[in-house]
Amino acid sequence: MDIFDKIRKNRGELGQYQKQGQGYFMFPKLEGEISPHMKFMGKEVLTWSLNNYLGLANHPEVRKEDAKGAKDWGMAYPMGARMMSGQTSKHEELEKKLAEFAGKERAYLLNYGYMGMTSIIDALAGRNDVIVYDSESHACILDGLRMHMGKRYVFPHNNIENLMKQLERASKLAEKTGGGVLVITEGVFGMAGDLGNLKAITDLKKDFNFRLLVDDAHGFGTMGKTGAGTGEHYGVQDKIDVYFSTFAKSMAGIGGFVASDEDVVDYLQYNMRSQIYAKSLPMPMVMGAIKRLEMLKNMPELRENLWSVVNALQKGLKENGFDLGKTESPVTPVFLKGGIPEATGITMDLRENYGIFCSIVIYPVVPKGVIMLRLIPTADHTLQDVERTVKAFASVKKKLDAGEYSEVRTMVVK
Ligand SMILES: Cc1ncc(COP(=O)(O)O)c(C=O)c1O
pLDDT band of residue 15 (cuts 50, 70, 90) is confident
CB contact at 8 A, 216 and 190 = no
Residue type, 372: M
Residue nearest to atom 15 of ligand 1 (CA): 217
How does DSSP classify residue 323? B
pLDDT for position 365: 81
Strands (E), 229-288: 242-246, 256-260
For ligand 1, whether the C-beta of 140 sits within 6 Å is yes
Q: Is it the case that residue 407 has pLDDT exceeding 80?
A: no
For ligand 1, whether the C-beta of 186 sits within 6 Å is yes
The per-residue pLDDT for range 21-50, each reduced to its tens digit, is 889 988 999 999 999 999 999 999 999 999
For ligand 1, whether the C-beta of 374 sits within 6 Å is no
Determine the structural domain holding residue 270 and report its residue range: 60-298
List the CATH number of the domain containing 262.
3.40.640.10
Ligand 1 atom closest to Cα of residue 138: 1
Q: Is it the case that residue 380 has pLDDT exceeding 80?
A: yes
Q: Do residues 38 and 97 both lie within one domain?
A: no
Question: For residue 218, which of 327, 328, 142, 329 has the smallest C-alpha distance?
Answer: 329
Q: Do residues 278 and 406 both lie within one domain?
A: no
The per-residue pLDDT for range 138-178, each reduced to its tens digit, is 999 999 999 999 999 999 999 999 999 999 999 999 999 99
**Alpha-carbon gap, residue 47 to 354, rounded angstroms:** 11
85 within a domain of the structure (yes/no): yes
Ligand 1 atom closest to Cα of residue 117: 4
53 within a domain of the structure (yes/no): no
Burial of 244 (0-12, 13-18, 19+ CB in 10 A): buried
pLDDT for position 414: 66
For ligand 1, whether the C-beta of 66 sits within 6 Å is no
Q: Do residues 288 and 320 both lie within one domain?
A: no
Work out the average pLDDT over 183-203. Answer: 98
Q: Do residues 156 and 288 both lie within one domain?
A: yes
**Alpha-carbon gap, residue 235 to 388, rounded angstroms:** 36
Total residue count of the chain as it appears in this document:
414
Q: Is it the case that residue 412 has pLDDT exceeding 80?
A: no
Q: How many domains does the chain have?
A: 2
Site to probe by mutation for ligand 1, drawn from 140, 215, 245 as the one with most ligand atoms within 8 Å of Cβ, is 140
The per-residue pLDDT for range 223-240, each reduced to its tens digit, is 999 999 999 999 999 999
Work out the average pLDDT over 309-330. Answer: 98
Q: Is 263 left (phi over 0), alpha (psi -120 to 50) or beta?
A: alpha
Sheet bearing 359-361, strands edge to edge: 332-337, 370-375, 359-361
Q: How far is the CA of 145 from the centre of ligand 1 (A)?
A: 16
For ligand 1, whether the C-beta of 215 sits within 6 Å is yes
pLDDT for position 93: 98
The per-residue pLDDT for range 119-146, each reduced to its tens digit, is 999 999 999 999 999 999 999 999 999 9
For ligand 1, whether the C-beta of 125 sits within 6 Å is no
For ligand 1, whether the C-beta of 196 sits within 6 Å is no
**Percent of the chain topping pLDDT 70:** 100
Q: Do residues 70 and 20 both lie within one domain?
A: no
> Among residues 275, 298, 321, which one ends one of the domains?
298
> Among residues 266, 298, 330, which one ends one of the domains?
298
Question: For residue 249, which of 47, 25, 54 has the smallest C-alpha distance?
Answer: 54
Helices (H), ranges, 246-299: 262-271, 273-276, 283-298
The per-residue pLDDT for range 233-280, each reduced to its tens digit, is 999 999 999 999 999 999 999 999 999 999 999 999 999 999 999 999
Q: How far is the CA of 408 from the centre of ligand 1 (A)?
A: 31
